[in-house]
Structure 1
Amino acid sequence: MNDQLRHDAPSDDVRIRTATPDEAETVLAFWAEAAEGTSITDDVDGVTRLIRRDPDALILAEADGLLVGSVIAGWDGWRCSLYRLAVLPPYRRRGIATVLLAAAEARFAAVGGRRGDAMVLEANDRAQRAWASAGYRREERWRRWVKPYAEPAAGH
């Protein structure tokens, strides 16, 4: 599906596609610049494992050969989970996040997903506004509970 994943982009110079395992370092460098926060899985092994397990999950936006946006559209056979919606700062407010979400939602529709859950940092007001404008709403009844099974990589 890597080259077949295409949607109407905000301009002709933006291409939407899925990531390949050899792009893990590029994706990590992009997230360091464009995304808020870090995760225990933010390392080459974590990103590579994601792509190998679910080749359609990590959706990227490119402009002129540069990685400018990402979203993880995880499907575990039961739930649709969204992570790492990010756009490079100079490319924001051009519709790239909208196109990335459309690609994620099309993926979920194709596999029979019923609802998308987005992980959004509590302190990231800009992201909360973006998710709300895309039609997502905060779920007040639930709180996330976590337990790490491995030590985080240095710097996380």
Structure 2
Amino acid sequence: MSDLRIRPAAPADAAAVLAFWRVAAEGTSISDDEAGVARLIGTDPGALLLAERDGTLTGTVIAGFDGWRCHLYRLAVHPSARRQGVATALLAAAEERFTALGGRRGDAMVLERNERAQHAWQSAGYAREEQWRRWTKPLATG
């Protein structure tokens, strides 16, 4: 996987990341717009990690650390690059980031219906916790 480059996203990457997620990610988020991605990058410049091969975006993961917990979101790999170690490399980079920041445990948001993702997370050593449920409340309209 020596031709794979992992790097933090820059503000100029926002449009390309959104286009990539439309092809490679499952589900959408209230923050799926250029302002949301720019806010993420501005708030935590190292959180959005990009995997590139020959300058082409092949994968993403958001590795957010709030000082208390390590949260993983948007692990996405382009369909043509799946099962080639891209997700493994992204998760290794995210886990290195968390360790450097003092994080102790990573958790991942995975859609219940996305069985392929559930298998990928399990293969990466993550385990489902049945006792937890996500509770949400939109804070903005639109």
TM-score when scaled to structure 1?
Answer: 0.90
Q: How do 1:4-153 and structure 2 match up within 5 A?
A: 10=1, 12-152=2-142
Structure 1 residue ranges (4+ consecutive) displaced by more than 3 angstroms after TM superposition: none
Q: What is the deviation of 1:22? A: 1.2
Quick one: which amino acid aligns to residue 110 of structure 2? V
CA distance in 1, matches of 2:119, 2:41: 28
Quick one: which amino acid aligns to residue 132 of structure 1? Q
Q: Deviations over 1:47-87 (max 9, x none)?
A: 00000010000000001111000000000111100000000
Q: What is the deviation of 1:14? A: 1.1
SS of residue paired to 1:73: strand
Q: Deviations over 1:95-133 (max 9, x none)?
A: 010000000000000011011110000000000000000
CA distance in 1, matches of 2:131, 2:97: 27
> Structure 2: 5+ residue runs without aligned partners?
none
CA distance in 2, matches of 1:147, 1:54: 22
SS of residue paired to 1:90: helix
How many positions carry a matched residue from both structures? Answer: 142
Q: What is the deviation of 1:43? A: 0.4
Q: What is the deviation of 1:151? A: 1.9
CA distance in 2, matches of 1:149, 1:84: 21
> Structure 1: 5+ residue runs without aligned partners?
1-9
Q: Deviations over 1:14-64 (max 9, x none)?
A: 111000011100000000000000000000000000000100000000011
CA distance in 2, matches of 1:99, 1:39: 24
